[in-house]
Protein backbone atom coordinates (compact mmCIF):
# COMPACT_ATOMS: atom_id res chain seq x y z
CA UNK A 1 0.00 0.00 0.00
CA UNK A 2 1.29 3.46 -0.84
CA UNK A 3 0.97 6.47 1.37
CA UNK A 4 -0.20 9.84 0.16
CA UNK A 5 2.66 12.26 -0.01
CA UNK A 6 2.35 15.91 0.70
CA UNK A 7 5.22 17.46 -1.12
CA UNK A 8 6.69 17.05 -4.51
CA UNK A 9 8.86 19.65 -6.07
CA UNK A 10 7.89 21.57 -9.13
CA UNK A 11 10.33 20.55 -11.79
CA UNK A 12 9.77 23.41 -14.22
CA UNK A 13 12.92 24.53 -15.96
CA UNK A 14 13.88 26.99 -18.61
CA UNK A 15 14.88 25.91 -22.05
CA UNK A 16 15.78 27.11 -25.48
CA UNK A 17 14.03 25.25 -28.20
CA UNK A 18 15.24 24.64 -31.69
CA UNK A 19 12.42 24.24 -34.09
CA UNK A 20 13.61 22.81 -37.35
CA UNK A 21 17.31 23.34 -38.09
CA UNK A 22 17.78 26.93 -37.29
CA UNK A 23 14.64 28.61 -36.14
CA UNK A 24 15.56 29.36 -32.59
CA UNK A 25 12.62 30.12 -30.40
CA UNK A 26 12.74 30.95 -26.74
CA UNK A 27 10.66 29.23 -24.13
CA UNK A 28 10.31 31.01 -20.85
CA UNK A 29 10.60 29.62 -17.39
CA UNK A 30 7.65 31.51 -16.06
CA UNK A 31 4.32 31.06 -17.74
CA UNK A 32 3.88 34.29 -19.60
CA UNK A 33 0.41 35.60 -20.00
CA UNK A 34 -0.21 36.71 -23.53
CA UNK A 35 -0.64 40.45 -23.59
CA UNK A 36 -3.96 40.76 -25.30
CA UNK A 37 -3.50 44.42 -26.10
CA UNK A 38 -0.82 43.62 -28.60
CA UNK A 39 -3.25 41.56 -30.56
CA UNK A 40 -5.74 44.38 -30.68
CA UNK A 41 -3.35 46.19 -32.98
CA UNK A 42 -3.84 43.49 -35.57
CA UNK A 43 -5.44 44.70 -38.75
CA UNK A 44 -8.84 43.52 -39.96
CA UNK A 45 -9.45 40.67 -42.30
CA UNK A 46 -11.18 40.95 -45.65
CA UNK A 47 -14.85 40.23 -45.06
CA UNK A 48 -16.33 37.30 -46.91
CA UNK A 49 -20.05 36.91 -47.21
CA UNK A 50 -21.72 33.60 -47.87
CA UNK A 51 -25.28 32.48 -48.23
CA UNK A 52 -27.12 30.74 -45.42
CA UNK A 53 -25.28 27.48 -45.86
CA UNK A 54 -22.84 26.47 -43.19
CA UNK A 55 -20.35 23.70 -43.59
CA UNK A 56 -18.92 21.22 -41.12
CA UNK A 57 -15.47 19.98 -42.01
CA UNK A 58 -12.71 17.67 -40.81
CA UNK A 59 -9.27 19.16 -40.27
CA UNK A 60 -6.00 17.28 -40.00
CA UNK A 61 -3.85 19.80 -38.11
CA UNK A 62 -0.51 18.17 -38.73
CA UNK A 63 2.94 19.01 -37.40
CA UNK A 64 4.29 19.70 -40.85
CA UNK A 65 1.27 19.55 -43.15
CA UNK A 66 -2.43 20.12 -42.62
CA UNK A 67 -5.45 19.22 -44.71
CA UNK A 68 -9.20 19.68 -44.69
CA UNK A 69 -12.03 17.56 -46.07
CA UNK A 70 -15.78 17.59 -46.22
CA UNK A 71 -18.21 14.69 -46.13
CA UNK A 72 -21.60 15.49 -47.62
CA UNK A 73 -22.71 11.91 -47.16
CA UNK A 74 -21.06 8.51 -47.13
CA UNK A 75 -19.54 8.01 -50.54
CA UNK A 76 -19.01 11.72 -51.00
CA UNK A 77 -15.92 12.69 -49.06
CA UNK A 78 -13.75 15.31 -50.67
CA UNK A 79 -10.40 16.76 -49.71
CA UNK A 80 -10.55 20.49 -50.23
CA UNK A 81 -7.64 21.92 -52.20
CA UNK A 82 -5.94 25.09 -50.98
CA UNK A 83 -5.53 28.19 -53.11
CA UNK A 84 -2.51 26.68 -54.83
CA UNK A 85 -4.64 23.66 -55.73
CA UNK A 86 -2.81 21.38 -53.27
CA UNK A 87 -4.51 18.90 -50.94
CA UNK A 88 -2.05 19.57 -48.15
CA UNK A 89 -0.80 22.86 -46.74
CA UNK A 90 2.45 23.29 -44.84
CA UNK A 91 1.74 24.01 -41.15
CA UNK A 92 4.16 26.89 -41.36
CA UNK A 93 3.53 30.49 -40.37
CA UNK A 94 5.59 33.46 -41.54
CA UNK A 95 5.46 36.64 -39.48
CA UNK A 96 6.65 39.53 -41.66
CA UNK A 97 7.87 42.65 -39.92
CA UNK A 98 5.25 45.27 -40.72
CA UNK A 99 5.45 49.09 -40.63
CA UNK A 100 2.37 49.28 -38.44
CA UNK A 101 3.54 46.56 -36.06
CA UNK A 102 0.31 44.65 -36.75
CA UNK A 103 0.68 40.96 -37.35
CA UNK A 104 -0.10 39.89 -40.89
CA UNK A 105 0.86 36.23 -40.85
CA UNK A 106 1.28 34.19 -43.99
CA UNK A 107 0.44 30.49 -43.74
CA UNK A 108 1.30 27.56 -45.98
CA UNK A 109 3.59 27.25 -48.95
CA UNK A 110 4.36 30.98 -49.09
CA UNK A 111 5.42 30.85 -45.47
CA UNK A 112 7.50 27.73 -46.06
CA UNK A 113 9.24 29.39 -48.99
CA UNK A 114 10.12 32.35 -46.77
CA UNK A 115 11.93 30.13 -44.30
CA UNK A 116 15.17 30.20 -46.24
CA UNK A 117 15.40 33.98 -46.47
CA UNK A 118 14.00 34.93 -43.05
CA UNK A 119 14.25 31.93 -40.74
CA UNK A 120 13.67 33.97 -37.57
CA UNK A 121 10.27 35.09 -38.86
CA UNK A 122 9.04 31.57 -39.52
CA UNK A 123 7.40 29.16 -37.11
CA UNK A 124 7.12 25.51 -38.00
CA UNK A 125 6.21 22.34 -36.10
CA UNK A 126 4.21 24.36 -33.57
CA UNK A 127 2.17 21.23 -32.84
CA UNK A 128 5.14 19.95 -30.87
CA UNK A 129 4.69 22.86 -28.48
CA UNK A 130 0.94 22.54 -27.96
CA UNK A 131 0.08 22.42 -24.27
CA UNK A 132 3.45 23.85 -23.23
CA UNK A 133 2.52 26.83 -21.13
CA UNK A 134 6.11 28.00 -20.93
CA UNK A 135 6.44 28.43 -24.65
CA UNK A 136 6.01 31.70 -26.49
CA UNK A 137 7.17 32.76 -29.93
CA UNK A 138 8.44 36.33 -30.09
CA UNK A 139 7.40 37.73 -33.42
CA UNK A 140 9.54 40.30 -35.24
CA UNK A 141 6.79 42.82 -34.47
CA UNK A 142 7.39 42.26 -30.77
CA UNK A 143 4.39 40.10 -29.96
CA UNK A 144 4.43 37.06 -27.74
CA UNK A 145 2.39 34.29 -29.28
CA UNK A 146 1.42 31.07 -27.61
CA UNK A 147 1.17 27.79 -29.57
CA UNK A 148 -2.64 27.95 -29.42
CA UNK A 149 -2.59 31.29 -31.23
CA UNK A 150 -0.11 30.18 -33.89
CA UNK A 151 -2.16 27.03 -34.49
CA UNK A 152 -5.24 29.23 -34.66
CA UNK A 153 -3.61 31.17 -37.50
CA UNK A 154 -3.10 27.90 -39.40
CA UNK A 155 -6.69 26.86 -38.74
CA UNK A 156 -7.99 30.26 -39.78
CA UNK A 157 -6.04 30.02 -43.03
CA UNK A 158 -7.59 26.60 -43.66
CA UNK A 159 -11.07 27.85 -42.78
CA UNK A 160 -10.59 30.67 -45.25
CA UNK A 161 -9.50 28.58 -48.23
CA UNK A 162 -12.22 26.02 -47.56
CA UNK A 163 -14.83 28.78 -47.50
CA UNK A 164 -13.53 30.12 -50.79
CA UNK A 165 -13.72 26.64 -52.33
CA UNK A 166 -17.15 25.78 -50.98
CA UNK A 167 -18.71 29.22 -51.17
CA UNK A 168 -20.10 28.48 -47.72
CA UNK A 169 -19.21 29.63 -44.25
CA UNK A 170 -17.34 27.02 -42.26
CA UNK A 171 -18.71 26.97 -38.74
CA UNK A 172 -18.06 23.57 -37.21
CA UNK A 173 -15.10 21.25 -37.36
CA UNK A 174 -13.58 18.08 -36.05
CA UNK A 175 -9.84 18.53 -35.53
CA UNK A 176 -7.55 15.55 -35.28
CA UNK A 177 -4.82 14.92 -32.72
CA UNK A 178 -2.32 12.09 -32.28
CA UNK A 179 -3.81 9.31 -30.16
CA UNK A 180 -1.18 9.71 -27.46
CA UNK A 181 -1.91 13.44 -27.00
CA UNK A 182 -2.64 14.06 -23.35
CA UNK A 183 -5.53 16.03 -21.95
CA UNK A 184 -3.61 19.32 -21.91
CA UNK A 185 -2.61 19.06 -25.57
CA UNK A 186 -6.14 18.04 -26.59
CA UNK A 187 -7.59 20.99 -24.75
CA UNK A 188 -4.99 23.31 -26.31
CA UNK A 189 -5.98 22.03 -29.77
CA UNK A 190 -9.65 22.59 -29.06
CA UNK A 191 -8.86 26.08 -27.82
CA UNK A 192 -6.83 26.82 -30.97
CA UNK A 193 -9.90 25.89 -33.01
CA UNK A 194 -12.09 28.17 -30.95
CA UNK A 195 -9.60 31.03 -31.22
CA UNK A 196 -9.76 30.55 -35.00
CA UNK A 197 -13.54 31.03 -34.82
CA UNK A 198 -14.51 27.39 -35.17
CA UNK A 199 -17.00 25.45 -33.16
CA UNK A 200 -14.89 22.36 -32.44
CA UNK A 201 -17.32 19.45 -32.31
CA UNK A 202 -14.62 17.18 -30.98
CA UNK A 203 -10.92 16.52 -31.16
CA UNK A 204 -10.52 13.13 -32.77
CA UNK A 205 -7.67 10.64 -32.79
CA UNK A 206 -5.67 10.53 -36.02
CA UNK A 207 -5.32 6.73 -36.27
CA UNK A 208 -9.04 6.32 -35.69
CA UNK A 209 -9.60 8.81 -38.52
CA UNK A 210 -7.33 6.75 -40.78
CA UNK A 211 -9.23 3.59 -39.88
CA UNK A 212 -12.52 5.37 -40.56
CA UNK A 213 -11.37 6.60 -43.97
CA UNK A 214 -10.36 3.05 -44.79
CA UNK A 215 -13.02 0.98 -43.08
CA UNK A 216 -16.23 2.94 -43.54
CA UNK A 217 -18.66 0.85 -45.49
CA UNK A 218 -16.54 -2.30 -45.23
CA UNK A 219 -18.27 -5.23 -43.58
CA UNK A 220 -15.54 -7.32 -42.13
CA UNK A 221 -12.16 -5.75 -41.67
CA UNK A 222 -10.92 -7.35 -38.47
CA UNK A 223 -7.87 -6.30 -36.53
CA UNK A 224 -5.89 -3.49 -38.04
CA UNK A 225 -2.66 -1.82 -37.15
CA UNK A 226 -2.22 1.82 -38.13
CA UNK A 227 1.40 2.87 -38.43
CA UNK A 228 1.51 6.65 -38.79
CA UNK A 229 4.85 8.34 -39.30
CA UNK A 230 4.29 12.01 -40.01
CA UNK A 231 6.51 15.04 -39.92
CA UNK A 232 6.95 15.40 -36.21
CA UNK A 233 5.27 12.46 -34.59
CA UNK A 234 4.94 8.72 -34.66
CA UNK A 235 1.78 6.89 -33.68
CA UNK A 236 0.97 3.21 -33.75
CA UNK A 237 -2.51 1.99 -32.98
CA UNK A 238 -4.25 -1.35 -32.87
CA UNK A 239 -7.93 -1.39 -33.68
CA UNK A 240 -10.72 -3.78 -34.27
CA UNK A 241 -13.00 -2.75 -37.12
CA UNK A 242 -16.19 -4.53 -37.88
CA UNK A 243 -19.28 -3.33 -39.69
CA UNK A 244 -19.12 0.31 -38.63
CA UNK A 245 -17.64 -0.37 -35.21
CA UNK A 246 -14.20 1.10 -34.62
CA UNK A 247 -12.72 -0.16 -31.39
CA UNK A 248 -9.32 1.06 -30.38
CA UNK A 249 -7.52 -1.77 -28.60
CA UNK A 250 -4.28 -0.04 -27.72
CA UNK A 251 -2.17 2.84 -28.84
CA UNK A 252 1.36 4.08 -28.42
CA UNK A 253 3.50 6.76 -29.95
CA UNK A 254 6.57 8.88 -29.83
CA UNK A 255 5.87 12.60 -29.81
CA UNK A 256 9.51 13.30 -30.58
CA UNK A 257 9.91 11.24 -33.73
CA UNK A 258 8.95 12.09 -37.28
CA UNK A 259 10.10 13.18 -40.73
CA UNK A 260 11.76 16.26 -39.20
CA UNK A 261 14.24 13.95 -37.51
CA UNK A 262 15.02 12.24 -40.81
CA UNK A 263 15.53 15.72 -42.32
CA UNK A 264 17.98 16.51 -39.55
CA UNK A 265 20.06 13.45 -40.43
CA UNK A 266 20.17 14.46 -44.09
CA UNK A 267 21.12 17.95 -42.99
CA UNK A 268 24.07 16.44 -41.13
CA UNK A 269 25.07 14.50 -44.22
CA UNK A 270 24.91 17.68 -46.32
CA UNK A 271 26.97 19.65 -43.78
CA UNK A 272 29.52 16.82 -43.69
CA UNK A 273 29.70 16.71 -47.47
CA UNK A 274 30.19 20.48 -47.68
CA UNK A 275 32.96 20.18 -45.10
CA UNK A 276 34.61 17.47 -47.22
CA UNK A 277 34.47 19.88 -50.13
CA UNK A 278 36.14 22.56 -48.05
CA UNK A 279 33.24 24.60 -46.65
CA UNK A 280 32.60 24.37 -42.91
CA UNK A 281 29.12 25.60 -42.03
CA UNK A 282 28.96 27.74 -38.90
CA UNK A 283 25.62 26.59 -37.49
CA UNK A 284 25.46 29.35 -34.91
CA UNK A 285 26.02 32.26 -37.25
CA UNK A 286 24.89 31.22 -40.71
CA UNK A 287 21.14 31.28 -40.25
CA UNK A 288 20.26 31.78 -43.87
CA UNK A 289 22.57 29.07 -45.18
CA UNK A 290 21.35 26.66 -42.49
CA UNK A 291 17.74 27.34 -43.43
CA UNK A 292 18.59 26.70 -47.08
CA UNK A 293 20.27 23.42 -46.17
CA UNK A 294 17.26 22.46 -44.08
CA UNK A 295 14.90 23.20 -46.93
CA UNK A 296 16.99 21.30 -49.47
CA UNK A 297 17.42 18.40 -47.05
CA UNK A 298 13.72 17.72 -47.13
CA UNK A 299 13.71 17.88 -50.93
CA UNK A 300 16.68 15.48 -51.04
CA UNK A 301 14.86 13.13 -48.68
CA UNK A 302 11.74 13.10 -50.83
CA UNK A 303 13.86 12.50 -53.89
CA UNK A 304 15.44 9.48 -52.25
CA UNK A 305 12.00 7.91 -51.87
CA UNK A 306 11.91 7.58 -55.66
CA UNK A 307 15.50 7.40 -56.82
CA UNK A 308 18.64 5.81 -55.33
CA UNK A 309 20.53 9.08 -55.14
CA UNK A 310 19.67 12.75 -55.16
CA UNK A 311 21.60 15.96 -55.60
CA UNK A 312 21.42 19.54 -54.32
CA UNK A 313 23.36 22.59 -55.44
CA UNK A 314 24.60 25.30 -53.07
CA UNK A 315 26.23 28.57 -54.02
CA UNK A 316 28.25 29.85 -51.08
CA UNK A 317 30.46 32.93 -51.33
CA UNK A 318 30.25 32.72 -55.10
CA UNK A 319 31.43 29.11 -55.22
CA UNK A 320 29.21 26.23 -56.33
CA UNK A 321 28.97 23.04 -54.31
CA UNK A 322 27.25 19.93 -55.57
CA UNK A 323 26.06 17.65 -52.78
CA UNK A 324 25.02 14.12 -53.61
CA UNK A 325 23.35 11.85 -51.09
CA UNK A 326 22.61 8.19 -51.74
CA UNK A 327 19.67 6.27 -50.37
CA UNK A 328 22.09 3.86 -48.77
CA UNK A 329 23.84 6.68 -46.91
CA UNK A 330 20.50 8.07 -45.82
CA UNK A 331 19.15 4.72 -44.66
CA UNK A 332 22.29 4.05 -42.68
CA UNK A 333 22.17 7.44 -41.01
CA UNK A 334 18.52 7.05 -40.04
CA UNK A 335 18.56 3.37 -39.13
CA UNK A 336 18.16 4.04 -35.41
CA UNK A 337 15.15 6.29 -36.03
CA UNK A 338 13.40 3.57 -38.01
CA UNK A 339 14.33 1.05 -35.33
CA UNK A 340 12.60 3.16 -32.72
CA UNK A 341 9.35 2.86 -34.67
CA UNK A 342 9.83 -0.88 -35.09
CA UNK A 343 10.38 -1.35 -31.38
CA UNK A 344 7.31 0.66 -30.44
CA UNK A 345 5.20 -1.31 -32.91
CA UNK A 346 6.36 -4.67 -31.63
CA UNK A 347 6.03 -3.64 -27.99
CA UNK A 348 2.46 -2.59 -28.66
CA UNK A 349 1.65 -6.00 -30.15
CA UNK A 350 3.37 -7.80 -27.30
CA UNK A 351 1.52 -5.71 -24.72
CA UNK A 352 -1.71 -7.10 -26.15
CA UNK A 353 -0.32 -10.65 -26.38
CA UNK A 354 -0.74 -10.57 -30.13
CA UNK A 355 1.56 -11.46 -32.97
CA UNK A 356 1.54 -10.53 -36.62
CA UNK A 357 -0.65 -13.49 -37.57
CA UNK A 358 -3.41 -11.87 -35.50
CA UNK A 359 -3.35 -8.70 -37.61
CA UNK A 360 -5.65 -8.63 -40.64
CA UNK A 361 -4.58 -5.30 -42.15
CA UNK A 362 -1.63 -3.03 -41.84
CA UNK A 363 -2.33 0.59 -42.75
CA UNK A 364 0.43 3.10 -43.33
CA UNK A 365 -0.35 6.77 -42.88
CA UNK A 366 1.76 9.91 -42.72
CA UNK A 367 4.01 11.33 -45.42
CA UNK A 368 7.13 9.70 -44.01
CA UNK A 369 5.82 6.22 -44.78
CA UNK A 370 6.69 7.04 -48.40
CA UNK A 371 10.29 6.28 -47.56
CA UNK A 372 10.83 2.82 -49.04
CA UNK A 373 12.64 1.60 -45.93
CA UNK A 374 9.47 1.99 -43.86
CA UNK A 375 7.44 -0.32 -46.06
CA UNK A 376 10.36 -2.77 -46.31
CA UNK A 377 10.75 -2.86 -42.54
CA UNK A 378 7.03 -3.36 -41.93
CA UNK A 379 6.74 -6.06 -44.59
CA UNK A 380 9.78 -7.80 -43.21
CA UNK A 381 8.64 -7.89 -39.58
CA UNK A 382 5.00 -8.64 -40.36
CA UNK A 383 5.44 -11.02 -43.28
CA UNK A 384 2.55 -9.19 -44.94
CA UNK A 385 2.48 -7.20 -48.13
CA UNK A 386 1.22 -3.67 -47.73
CA UNK A 387 -0.73 -2.00 -50.48
CA UNK A 388 -1.79 1.60 -50.77
CA UNK A 389 -4.98 1.13 -48.80
CA UNK A 390 -5.16 4.73 -47.74
CA UNK A 391 -3.78 7.96 -49.10
CA UNK A 392 -0.92 8.86 -46.76
CA UNK A 393 -1.59 12.58 -47.02
CA UNK A 394 -5.33 12.81 -46.86
CA UNK A 395 -6.70 9.81 -44.95
CA UNK A 396 -6.70 11.66 -41.62
CA UNK A 397 -8.66 14.65 -42.88
CA UNK A 398 -11.10 12.39 -44.72
CA UNK A 399 -11.71 10.31 -41.62
CA UNK A 400 -12.19 13.50 -39.61
CA UNK A 401 -14.73 14.71 -42.18
CA UNK A 402 -16.69 11.46 -41.96
CA UNK A 403 -16.72 11.72 -38.19
CA UNK A 404 -17.75 15.39 -38.39
CA UNK A 405 -20.67 14.39 -40.58
CA UNK A 406 -21.64 11.69 -38.13
CA UNK A 407 -21.54 14.12 -35.18
CA UNK A 408 -23.43 16.75 -37.12
CA UNK A 409 -26.22 14.29 -37.85
CA UNK A 410 -26.19 12.99 -34.28
CA UNK A 411 -26.49 16.55 -33.01
CA UNK A 412 -29.52 17.04 -35.24
CA UNK A 413 -27.84 19.61 -37.45
CA UNK A 414 -28.22 19.41 -41.16
CA UNK A 415 -26.01 21.23 -43.59
CA UNK A 416 -27.22 19.10 -46.45
CA UNK A 417 -29.71 20.45 -48.96
CA UNK A 418 -31.63 17.19 -49.18
CA UNK A 419 -34.46 16.07 -46.93
CA UNK A 420 -33.54 15.24 -43.31
CA UNK A 421 -34.73 11.66 -43.78
CA UNK A 422 -32.43 10.95 -46.69
CA UNK A 423 -29.59 12.70 -44.91
CA UNK A 424 -29.96 10.49 -41.84
CA UNK A 425 -30.19 7.44 -44.03
CA UNK A 426 -26.95 8.29 -45.75
CA UNK A 427 -25.14 9.54 -42.66
CA UNK A 428 -22.28 7.37 -41.55
CA UNK A 429 -23.44 4.71 -39.15
CA UNK A 430 -20.50 4.24 -36.87
CA UNK A 431 -19.61 3.48 -33.32
CA UNK A 432 -16.27 4.46 -31.92
CA UNK A 433 -14.72 3.29 -28.71
CA UNK A 434 -11.44 4.67 -27.53
CA UNK A 435 -8.83 4.05 -24.88
CA UNK A 436 -6.78 6.24 -22.58
CA UNK A 437 -3.42 6.90 -24.16
CA UNK A 438 -1.79 7.91 -20.88
CA UNK A 439 -2.01 6.36 -17.45
CA UNK A 440 -3.57 8.42 -14.67
CA UNK A 441 -2.59 8.23 -11.04
CA UNK A 442 -1.45 10.21 -8.06
CA UNK A 443 1.80 11.04 -6.36
CA UNK A 444 2.32 8.69 -3.41
CA UNK A 445 5.23 7.66 -1.26
CA UNK A 446 6.58 4.22 -1.99
CA UNK A 447 6.47 2.45 1.40
CA UNK A 448 9.71 0.61 0.70
CA UNK A 449 11.84 3.55 -0.36
CA UNK A 450 9.88 6.40 1.26
CA UNK A 451 10.29 8.29 -2.02
CA UNK A 452 7.35 9.90 -3.82
CA UNK A 453 6.49 8.25 -7.11
CA UNK A 454 3.78 7.92 -9.70
CA UNK A 455 1.15 5.47 -8.42
CA UNK A 456 -1.00 4.57 -11.43
CA UNK A 457 -4.74 4.13 -10.86
CA UNK A 458 -6.03 3.97 -14.45
CA UNK A 459 -3.63 2.10 -16.70
CA UNK A 460 -3.05 3.37 -20.22
CA UNK A 461 -5.06 1.66 -22.95
CA UNK A 462 -8.08 1.30 -20.68
CA UNK A 463 -11.39 1.74 -22.49
CA UNK A 464 -13.07 5.04 -21.75
CA UNK A 465 -15.22 6.04 -19.94
CA UNK A 466 -13.31 4.48 -17.05
CA UNK A 467 -13.50 4.70 -13.27
CA UNK A 468 -10.94 3.06 -11.00
CA UNK A 469 -9.93 3.35 -7.34
CA UNK A 470 -6.97 2.52 -5.19
CA UNK A 471 -6.40 2.63 -1.45
CA UNK A 472 -3.65 4.65 0.20
CA UNK A 473 -2.95 5.54 3.80
CA UNK A 474 -2.03 8.51 5.93
CA UNK A 475 1.60 8.85 6.95
CA UNK A 476 1.37 10.34 10.47
CA UNK A 477 -0.93 10.17 13.49
CA UNK A 478 -3.71 12.74 13.43
CA UNK A 479 -2.80 13.85 9.90
CA UNK A 480 -5.03 16.87 9.19
CA UNK A 481 -4.79 17.15 5.42
CA UNK A 482 -3.82 15.24 2.34
CA UNK A 483 -2.41 16.64 -0.82
CA UNK A 484 -3.62 14.85 -3.93
CA UNK A 485 -1.49 15.46 -7.01
CA UNK A 486 -2.95 13.86 -10.10
CA UNK A 487 -0.42 12.49 -12.56
CA UNK A 488 -0.64 11.71 -16.25
CA UNK A 489 2.02 9.42 -17.66
CA UNK A 490 3.16 5.86 -17.77
CA UNK A 491 6.47 6.05 -15.94
CA UNK A 492 6.78 5.36 -12.20
CA UNK A 493 9.34 8.18 -11.96
CA UNK A 494 7.82 11.60 -11.44
CA UNK A 495 10.39 13.22 -13.67
CA UNK A 496 8.71 11.68 -16.69
CA UNK A 497 5.07 12.35 -15.84
CA UNK A 498 2.97 15.47 -15.84
CA UNK A 499 1.13 16.72 -12.75
CA UNK A 500 -2.25 17.66 -14.20
CA UNK A 501 -4.10 18.71 -11.09
CA UNK A 502 -3.66 19.14 -7.40
CA UNK A 503 -5.83 19.65 -4.35
CA UNK A 504 -5.27 19.67 -0.61
CA UNK A 505 -8.20 18.25 1.34
CA UNK A 506 -8.78 18.38 5.13
CA UNK A 507 -9.24 15.01 6.86
CA UNK A 508 -10.50 14.09 10.32
CA UNK A 509 -7.75 12.97 12.75
CA UNK A 510 -7.05 9.23 12.72
CA UNK A 511 -4.07 7.08 13.67
CA UNK A 512 -1.36 6.83 11.03
CA UNK A 513 -1.85 4.27 8.24
CA UNK A 514 -5.60 5.02 8.13
CA UNK A 515 -6.97 4.08 4.71
CA UNK A 516 -7.98 6.66 2.11
CA UNK A 517 -9.61 5.69 -1.19
CA UNK A 518 -8.78 7.69 -4.31
CA UNK A 519 -11.02 7.23 -7.34
CA UNK A 520 -10.24 8.61 -10.76
CA UNK A 521 -12.91 8.81 -13.43
CA UNK A 522 -12.07 9.42 -17.08
CA UNK A 523 -14.91 10.72 -19.20
CA UNK A 524 -15.60 10.09 -22.86
CA UNK A 525 -14.63 13.71 -23.61
CA UNK A 526 -11.36 13.11 -21.74
CA UNK A 527 -12.34 15.05 -18.61
CA UNK A 528 -10.81 13.71 -15.43
CA UNK A 529 -12.59 13.70 -12.04
CA UNK A 530 -11.07 12.72 -8.73
CA UNK A 531 -12.99 11.51 -5.69
CA UNK A 532 -11.39 11.03 -2.26
CA UNK A 533 -13.01 8.93 0.49
CA UNK A 534 -12.04 8.45 4.12
CA UNK A 535 -12.42 4.67 4.57
CA UNK A 536 -12.40 4.91 8.39
CA UNK A 537 -15.68 6.81 8.46
CA UNK A 538 -16.66 5.99 4.88
CA UNK A 539 -17.13 9.73 4.41
CA UNK A 540 -16.45 11.69 1.22
CA UNK A 541 -13.49 14.02 1.60
CA UNK A 542 -13.99 15.80 -1.68
CA UNK A 543 -14.36 15.61 -5.42
CA UNK A 544 -12.52 17.76 -7.92
CA UNK A 545 -11.91 18.16 -11.60
CA UNK A 546 -8.34 18.63 -12.77
CA UNK A 547 -7.61 22.30 -13.08
CA UNK A 548 -5.82 22.38 -16.44
CA UNK A 549 -3.37 24.98 -15.21
CA UNK A 550 -1.29 24.49 -18.36
CA UNK A 551 -4.15 25.56 -20.61
CA UNK A 552 -5.51 29.00 -21.36
CA UNK A 553 -8.34 30.09 -19.10
CA UNK A 554 -11.82 30.59 -20.56
CA UNK A 555 -11.57 34.42 -20.47
CA UNK A 556 -8.19 34.19 -22.21
CA UNK A 557 -9.65 32.01 -24.98
CA UNK A 558 -12.54 34.40 -25.49
CA UNK A 559 -10.29 37.41 -25.54
CA UNK A 560 -7.88 35.80 -28.02
CA UNK A 561 -10.81 34.74 -30.17
CA UNK A 562 -11.85 38.39 -30.49
CA UNK A 563 -8.31 39.51 -31.20
CA UNK A 564 -7.63 36.88 -33.83
CA UNK A 565 -10.96 37.63 -35.52
CA UNK A 566 -9.41 40.84 -36.76
CA UNK A 567 -6.16 39.40 -38.03
CA UNK A 568 -5.61 39.36 -41.78
CA UNK A 569 -4.27 35.93 -42.68
CA UNK A 570 -3.08 34.84 -46.07
Which active-site residues does the annotation give? 60, 127, 206, 228
For 555, the 3-state DSSP assignment is helix
Query: Would you say the C-alpha torsion 227, 228, 229, 235 has a positive or negative sign?
Result: negative
Q: Does 232 bind ligand ADP (CB under 6 A)?
A: yes
42 phi/psi in degrees, rounded to 5? -65, 145
In the bound state with ligand ADP, the residue whose beta carbon lies nearer, of 78 and 302, is 302
Alpha carbons 434 and 317: distance in angstroms, whole number: 56
Does the protein bind ligand ADP through residue 489 (CB under 6 A)? no
CB of 91 to ligand ADP, least distance (A): 6
* Shortest distance (Å) from residue 60 CB to Mg ion: 6
Instruction: List the one residue out of 339, 333, 384, 390 whose CA is nearest residue 367.
Output: 390
371 lies in the binding site for ligand ADP (CB under 6 A): yes
Q: What share of the chain is helix, strand, coil (3-state, %, to 5)?
A: 30, 30, 40
CA distances from 290 to 30, 94, 272, 309, 410 (A): 30, 17, 13, 22, 50
Binding track, positions 318-357, relative to ligand ADP; x by CB under 6 A: ----------------------------------------
The helix (run of H) or strand (run of E) holding residue 520 is strand 515-522
Give the chain's length.
570
Q: Which residue number, 363 or 484, has a Cβ lying nearer to ligand ADP?
A: 363
Distance from C-alpha of 26 to C-alpha of 298, rounded to nearest angstrom: 24
Interaction of residue 294 with ligand ADP, rule CB under 6 A: no
Q: How far is the CB of 333 from Mg ion (least distance, A)?
A: 23
**Contact partner, 314, from Mg ion, ligand ADP, none, Cβ < 5-8 Å per class:** none
* Total number of residues that touch ligand ADP (CB under 6 A): 20
How far is it, in rounded angstroms, from Cα 429 to Cα 243? Answer: 9
**Are the C-beta atoms of 395 and 261 separated by less than 8 Å?**
no
Binding partner selected for residue 452 from ligand ADP, Mg ion, none, CB under the kind-specific 5 to 8 Å limit: none
SS3 70: strand
* Pick 126 or 564: Cβ nearer ligand ADP: 126
Question: Which residue, 132 or 228, has its beta carbon nearer to ligand ADP?
Answer: 228
Under rule CB under 6 A, which residues in 249-278 are in contact with ligand ADP? 258-260
Q: Where would I find the beta strands (DSSP E) of 353-446?
A: 361-365, 431-433, 440-445
Residue 63 makes contact with ligand ADP by CB under 6 A: yes
By beta-carbon proximity to ligand ADP, the closer residue of 232 and 501 is: 232
Check binding of 233 to ligand ADP (CB under 6 A).
Answer: yes
Positions of E strands within 340-449: 361-365, 431-433, 440-445
Site for Mg ion in 228-257 (CB under 5 A): 230
CA distances from 539 to 45, 459, 508, 515, 534 (A): 57, 26, 10, 12, 5
Please identify which residue in 20, 58, 62, 147 interacts with Mg ion, judged by CB under 5 A. 62
237 is a contact residue toward ligand ADP (CB under 6 A): no
Among 132, 182, 265, 298, binds ligand ADP (CB under 6 A): 298
Residue choice 42, 65, 330, 406 for contact with ligand ADP (CB under 6 A): 65
When asked if residue 205 is in the footprint of ligand ADP (CB under 6 A), the reply is no
Give the nearer residue to ligand ADP in terms of CB position, either 256 or 350: 256
Q: Which residues bind ligand ADP (CB under 6 A)?
A: 62-65, 230-233, 258-260, 298, 301-302, 305, 366-368, 370-371
Amino acid sequence: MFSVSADVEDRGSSCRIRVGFNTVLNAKKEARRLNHDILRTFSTDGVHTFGDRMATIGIDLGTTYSAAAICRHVGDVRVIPNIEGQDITPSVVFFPETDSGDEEPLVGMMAKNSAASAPQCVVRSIKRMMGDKDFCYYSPNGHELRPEVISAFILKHIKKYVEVDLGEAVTDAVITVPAYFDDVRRTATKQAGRIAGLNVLQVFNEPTAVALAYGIGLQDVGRILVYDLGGGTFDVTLMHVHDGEFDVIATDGDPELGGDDFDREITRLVVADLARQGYVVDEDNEDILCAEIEEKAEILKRGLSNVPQSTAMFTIDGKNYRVRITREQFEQATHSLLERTRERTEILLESQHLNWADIDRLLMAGGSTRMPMVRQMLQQISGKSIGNEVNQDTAVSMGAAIYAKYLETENGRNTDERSPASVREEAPSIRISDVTSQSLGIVAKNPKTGEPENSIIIQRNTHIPAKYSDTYCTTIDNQRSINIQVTEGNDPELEYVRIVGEKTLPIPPHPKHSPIKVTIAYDIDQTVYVEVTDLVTDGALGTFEIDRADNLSEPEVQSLQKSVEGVAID
